[in-house]
Structure 1
């Protein structure tokens, strides 16, 4: 996996698991050229123009927009691009400010799942008191500019020819560089793809919708955008929730250290119970044994090789799902001991490609490669592989080779400083998050003088959704950010109950839940 940790990152992992059978669902619209309702000086559009079901939108009091912003913030001569956005009006009568939702990523569209999000229990509850605003980050979904979907399609098709790893990497670099050259020909500035620019776009959306002040909820990569919003455009922010934070002052991104944190936390939890401690004494070693075994003798999944690197990425993806965490020690134990039939079932049951929105890997790389390269020798893939040999299968060395060619630029040192501010900020991080672990939360609040950090027990990524307790804390904070929060429910959270037998039966339960949700 090769992007910021987030709901977006899970999609990227699952693409890799299928070894070339990539589930990229990219839009092929090119630039959005359908005009909005300029005659009444409105930016509102037919919802079908930005992929939203018009019947649902009309019945749900949801308005759709295409909002022109400068391609480069502050430069009126850089040309305009359109940002696709929606506003779901509050269902109650409160006077609370609107709530902006900043999605994970980068490279993942938001509006693709807007209907599902807004209809979900938690967002429907928040909507009682707040208008909800969502938009596609530039270069994703229905927001301009369109970024080389033809190149992504070519890479997907090439992957179906079952190339060697070296052949695939070479083709990937070739197509990404052709994409970069084509952007220049189309007067699309790759420098306009940055987290700062996403924050600037967000504030332009606020201005266009005539919103004076609003609250912001960012999750995963969306927390990076939120933090840069605090840094550069704090004047119209009432409060900010950072769920599963990835702050600019955190260590450069990799999955080795973050996954190690999750595995160590799970091992420490297992030690608190004599039965689980005896059953699963070596979680980290089980992970390493399974990866080593599969690298030496890959498993066939859907007719193609599934090796140790694919296994490692699949386990990261599993950790992202809070309801799967109780199965992980048992799964690692079984896989380390050669239970390959269960491993194939595990991959099939937990695959959820596209579940977090349409993917544009080039948009993701344009930002990730710019902002997430190692900044010290200790953060290099070679150093991390030596320090954490049991997690070497999660090395990002290949992706960083792509970055060095496709987007070798980096922000200046000020970008990586802790974000300062005195706005009310609530930070949630799951104890078992494999992408944005608790030490990322500590980095996020370092210079936020009016912030509160909550490490949510038993939770993984997107901790707000892990329990009624964590959700109600967020709801209360957004209702009254200056009032001290009641955290008593967190004290009532019991220790996690790990499965110790019958992995197949547990997976069947998860499969049935997925089927029930789709019916």
Structure 2
């Protein structure tokens, strides 16, 4: 009888709460995307109470996208829960278009409250302000002071909008998810969380276990009280694995000797003499970024997140040692991507349910053990400072719920041994939260978020569908040797070209495309002329043929080289090209020399006879060199 009453009460509450939500189908969040128009995607706005304890009061609007399965499979959908906290979900929808999960499952993407296309947005420009603070050449103490100031300004702005800051937490998201599932008329679904999304997912699976068919936790958090406290220890542990692997790799050891000492010595050097680099003003209005000690440490820490970045980490450390401003300038744009979170959301979650349960005293005590590191990572420690001010005059903080779960569903936990924020031992501890059916996959050479790699994506699909992993996937995860990238020919031209491709609008390259078409026509025309004249053409024709031919060969070689590098490890392009492609740099120098010789010869010989033609030819060649002059 008691069970019946309890079930009846839950049903009654569910009916009442469902009456407080509204799901509305809307047009695409990307109205100009031709690519997405071809896909079978449903777009929704989901209205929910901002505070689930006050369901009749203020409502917020959540953005939802449902990518329909590529087959007519009736398998349970997969709902993805992003990390951060504060990460955008729907903005990255293109990642999911060809995801193996989508072959047989609908994929549901939700911009969690306060993120992405959901409304209200919580200080969407705060990350840019943090980036501008990091760019300055000032003390760590001043960085923290400035960060606290702009964060509190964000808080006040949200309060002025009537936003209930305490309602942005994992339990609220759990209610959002449960009601979204019901609104979409889905009986049960597969829950897939990554990074901080694993903490949210565990809260959801604890409160609404009946909603979950399978639970995938990628880079998991077992206990929120150790998330910050052990931060420095986790970073150094991951870094030591890279140092050890490089030392054991003959090529890495030869090209990047004594990597560990180089890393720590560079900390001391930057402490005395920071590095200021020029950057595109579209990235930073001031056009300059200064790398100090803390910027260096967080740049290397972020490098440990990604398997491909780890492979070039020794090279990156050496670029700081050698103060290579061209390479470090290119790094700034990637660095800015780490601050793309919705930081209003980030601090609501962090100050509501993370920092209050972590100990600054313990954090500092652990960090003090690593004397060569000169303290922990200010990027994370400063969150204690922000939340101390953020939570002032706050009457109470909601307790976090226990994540212990007598789960009726299967659980997959993925971890990377090089992950500096949710290390591999977190996976073992997370497994202890569940009573049944737990599987752990660890990738030794992987960092954070294994599911974003091909092997991880297929592993998750196989787990959900109860299939074994293939030998290839298993071998990929079991690989113990990091494939460090050595023999990289550094070139500032490659760095600039890569930066332009990433930062410039498409129309910036229109003159280059037109000039290349002209050069190609010149090459074909002069080649036909030489063949038809049977080698009796004038010297200038031969010069034009040779110049245009070298330029065409340069571009073909460059395209092939870049495509190969993109397939292997696109981060190499932030520094140069593999040494086997270094002949491309010589080709460009030859092209430039021939261009000058041909131009001078045309002025002396026949330029005046056909001014429009030669103006067009040399304008095209000049535009080409404008784009590639940095390759010298």
Q: Please, what TM-score do these two structures have when normalized by structure 1? A: 0.78
Match of 2:415 in 1: 429
256, 273, 291: which one aligns with 1:306: 291
Structure 1 residue 416 displacement after superposition: 6.0
| Alpha carbons 1:108, 1:356 under 8 Å: kept | no
- Match status 1:126 vs 2:101: yes
- Match status 1:388 vs 2:364: no
- The superposition leaves residues 79-124 of structure 1 with CA deviations (integer Å, 9 ceiling, x where unpaired) of 211111111111112211111111221122212221x2233x4x2x
Match of 2:209 in 1: 234
Structure 1 residue 144 displacement after superposition: 2.0
Task: Describe the shift of the 1:352–1:322 C-alpha distance in structure 2 as closer, same or farther (beyond 3 A).
Answer: same
357, 360, 373: which one aligns with 2:355: 373
| Alpha carbons 1:243, 1:429 under 8 Å: kept | yes
445, 450, 471: which one aligns with 2:431: 445
Task: Describe the shift of the 1:175–1:153 C-alpha distance in structure 2 as closer, same or farther (beyond 3 A).
Answer: same
DSSP-derived class of the 1:75 partner: coil
Structure 1 residue 423 displacement after superposition: 1.8
444, 454, 465: which one aligns with 1:457: 444
2: distance between equivalents of 1:364 and 1:433? 20
Compute the RMSD of aligned alpha carbons. Answer: 3.6
Matches within 5 A, 1:118-157: 118-119=96-97, 121=98, 123=99, 125-149=100-124
- The superposition leaves residues 472-508 of structure 1 with CA deviations (integer Å, 9 ceiling, x where unpaired) of 322111112xx66667742464422323443737996
Structure 1 residue 273 displacement after superposition: 4.5
Match of 1:339 in 2: 322
Show structure 1 runs of 5+ residues with no match: 1-40
Single out whichever of 88-97 and 260-269 deviates more from structure 2. 260-269
Single out whichever of 196-205 and 387-396 deviates more from structure 2. 387-396
387, 391, 405: which one aligns with 1:403: 387
1: distance between equivalents of 2:140 and 2:23? 50
Aligned pair count reads 466
DSSP-derived class of the 2:355 partner: coil
Task: Describe the shift of the 1:421–1:249 C-alpha distance in structure 2 as closer, same or farther (beyond 3 A).
Answer: farther
| Alpha carbons 1:262, 1:432 under 8 Å: kept | yes
Task: Describe the shift of the 1:113–1:330 C-alpha distance in structure 2 as closer, same or farther (beyond 3 A).
Answer: closer
- The superposition leaves residues 167-204 of structure 1 with CA deviations (integer Å, 9 ceiling, x where unpaired) of 55445434433443443443321110112222221222
2: distance between equivalents of 1:259 and 1:154? 25
Structure 1 residue 376 displacement after superposition: 6.1
Match of 1:490 in 2: 474
| Alpha carbons 1:319, 1:434 under 8 Å: kept | yes
Matches within 5 A, 1:258-269: 258-269=234-245
- Match status 1:321 vs 2:293: no
Task: Describe the shift of the 1:60–1:414 C-alpha distance in structure 2 as closer, same or farther (beyond 3 A).
Answer: closer
Task: Describe the shift of the 1:447–1:148 C-alpha distance in structure 2 as closer, same or farther (beyond 3 A).
Answer: closer
Structure 1 residue 252 displacement after superposition: 3.0
| Alpha carbons 2:49, 2:60 under 8 Å: kept | yes
Show structure 2 runs of 5+ residues with no match: 1-21, 279-287, 499-561, 571-632
- Match status 1:59 vs 2:46: no
2: distance between equivalents of 1:236 and 1:147? 29
1: distance between equivalents of 2:400 and 2:122? 28
Structure 1 residue 214 displacement after superposition: 0.6
2: distance between equivalents of 1:357 and 1:178? 18
- The superposition leaves residues 361-416 of structure 1 with CA deviations (integer Å, 9 ceiling, x where unpaired) of 12111112233327465864421331122332513333311110013578566536
- Match status 1:287 vs 2:263: yes
Task: Describe the shift of the 1:374–1:366 C-alpha distance in structure 2 as closer, same or farther (beyond 3 A).
Answer: closer
Task: Describe the shift of the 1:506–1:422 C-alpha distance in structure 2 as closer, same or farther (beyond 3 A).
Answer: farther
Structure 1 residue 154 displacement after superposition: 7.2
- Match status 1:72 vs 2:70: no
| Alpha carbons 2:217, 2:411 under 8 Å: kept | yes
2: distance between equivalents of 1:508 and 1:366? 41
2: distance between equivalents of 1:266 and 1:324? 12
DSSP-derived class of the 2:300 partner: helix
| Alpha carbons 1:89, 1:130 under 8 Å: kept | yes
DSSP-derived class of the 1:95 partner: coil
Task: Describe the shift of the 1:355–1:377 C-alpha distance in structure 2 as closer, same or farther (beyond 3 A).
Answer: closer
| Alpha carbons 1:108, 1:357 under 8 Å: kept | no
1: distance between equivalents of 2:494 and 2:128? 34
1: distance between equivalents of 2:342 and 2:300? 23
- Match status 1:45 vs 2:29: no
Task: Describe the shift of the 1:159–1:64 C-alpha distance in structure 2 as closer, same or farther (beyond 3 A).
Answer: same
| Alpha carbons 1:418, 1:444 under 8 Å: kept | no
Match of 1:30 in 2: none
Structure 1 residue 145 displacement after superposition: 2.1
| Alpha carbons 1:247, 1:418 under 8 Å: kept | no
